[in-house]
């Protein structure tokens, strides 16, 4: 079985927020909830990079570990999903998650939390695949239709990739190899000096 993963290529993301918009529209996400967001680092200055982030569907998911009603489960493809019928809106998953993926629609006065909502890797929830109940609670189940997450599919620069980890790894490896210019490979010049720097003469008395 494939292990589903996301990867965001910082060399390609142009902070267009297309993934955010596509996700919101596809799943008809409630007002105030964003399952995906784009964050820019060094915004507007040289060295700027941006990243699209949502639920990363961790192997050792903190949300799953702290949920007091144990409403999370993992699919055969490694996607972390939750059962909104069980969720009590306590917010613990939000405290535990490093990525800020769990979101809570406001359900009453004083910030009373409704049932948690997060990225489903476009894999719906425990309800019957493609059913009305599933769509209402979790949005479209694209995986069941043989499609990949819409955020990644819609990404104009293919910075955001989502799907079988082995395939993603091959694509990313290809990119790195294509981008890399000989000895300019990541970190080499830190370890071995600049490629055009004169070679260090061997230490006197040492073996050749």
Partner 1 sequence: MKRDTTILQRALWMVCVLGALLGGTASLAAGPAAAEQAQRQQSQPLNNAPVWREVRSGEQHVTNIKGVDTGVLIQSGGQTWRTLRNGPITLYGGIALCAMVVLLAVFFRLRGPIMLSGEKTGRMIERFSTLERTAHWSMAISFCVLAASGLVMLFGKHVLLPVFGYTLFSVVAVVCKNVHNFVGPLFIMSVLVFIVLFVRDNVWRSIDALWIRKAGGLLSGEHVPSYRFNFGEKTWFWLGVVGLSMLVGVSGLVLNFPNFGQGRFVMQGASIIHVTGALVVMTLSLAHIYIGSIGMEGALDGMKTGQVDEAWAKEHHELWYDEALQSRPAETHAGSMPAPARV
The site for partner 1 (CB under 8 A) is made up of: 10-11, 17, 20, 32, 34, 37-43, 45-49, 51, 53, 62, 65-71, 83, 85-91, 94-100, 103, 106, 110-113, 179-181, 184, 186-187, 189-190, 194
Q: How far is the CB of 206 from partner 1 (least distance, A)?
A: 29
C-alpha span between 190 and 204 (Å, rounded): 25
Quote the DSSP letter at residue 72. E
CA-CA distances (angstroms) from residue 81 to 9, 33, 69, 77, 137? Answer: 25, 17, 14, 11, 12
Q: Is 131 helix (H, G, I), strand (E, B) or coil?
A: coil
Cβ distance to partner 1 smaller for residue 113 or 142: 113
Cβ distance to partner 1 smaller for residue 139 or 143: 139
C-alpha span between 103 and 63 (Å, rounded): 12
Q: How far is the CB of 141 from partner 1 (least distance, A)?
A: 21
Cβ distance to partner 1 smaller for residue 130 or 192: 192
Q: How far is the CB of 65 from partner 1 (least distance, A)?
A: 6
Nearest in space to 77 (alpha carbons), one of 163, 183, 205, 206: 163
Q: How far is the CB of 10 from partner 1 (least distance, A)?
A: 6
Cβ distance to partner 1 smaller for residue 62 or 78: 62
Q: How far is the CB of 204 from partner 1 (least distance, A)?
A: 30
**H or E, element range at 167:** helix 165-179
Cβ distance to partner 1 smaller for residue 138 or 143: 138
C-alpha span between 66 and 99 (Å, rounded): 15
126-134 CB contacts, 8 Å cutoff, 24+ apart: 126/73, 126/81, 126/83, 126/85
């Amino acid at each position: 079985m494939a292990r589903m993963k996301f990867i965001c290529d910082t060399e390609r993301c142009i902070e267009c927020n297309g993934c955010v918009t596509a996700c919101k529209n596809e799943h008809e996400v409630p007002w105030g909830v964003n399952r995906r967001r784009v964050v820019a680092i060094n915004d507007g200055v040289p060295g700027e990079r941006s990243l699209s982030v949502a639920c990363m569907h961790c192997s050792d998911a903190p949300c799953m570990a702290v949920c007091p009603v144990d409403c999370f489960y993992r699919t055969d493809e490694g996607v972390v999903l939750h059962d909104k019928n069980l969720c009590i809106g306590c917010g613990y998953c939000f405290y535990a998650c490093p990525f800020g993926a769990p979101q809570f629609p406001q359900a009453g006065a004083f910030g009373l939390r409704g049932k948690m909502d997060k990225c489903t890797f476009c894999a719906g929830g425990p309800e019957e695949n493609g059913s009305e109940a599933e769509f209402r609670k979790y949005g479209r189940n694209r995986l069941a239709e043989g499609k990949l997450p819409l955020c990644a599919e819609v990404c104009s620069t293919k910075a955001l990739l989502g799907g079988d980890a082995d395939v993603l790894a091959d694509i990313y490896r290809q990119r790195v190899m294509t981008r890399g210019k000989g000895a300019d490979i990541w970190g080499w010049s830190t370890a071995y000096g600049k490629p055009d720097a004169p070679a260090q003469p061997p230490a006197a008395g040492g073996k050749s």
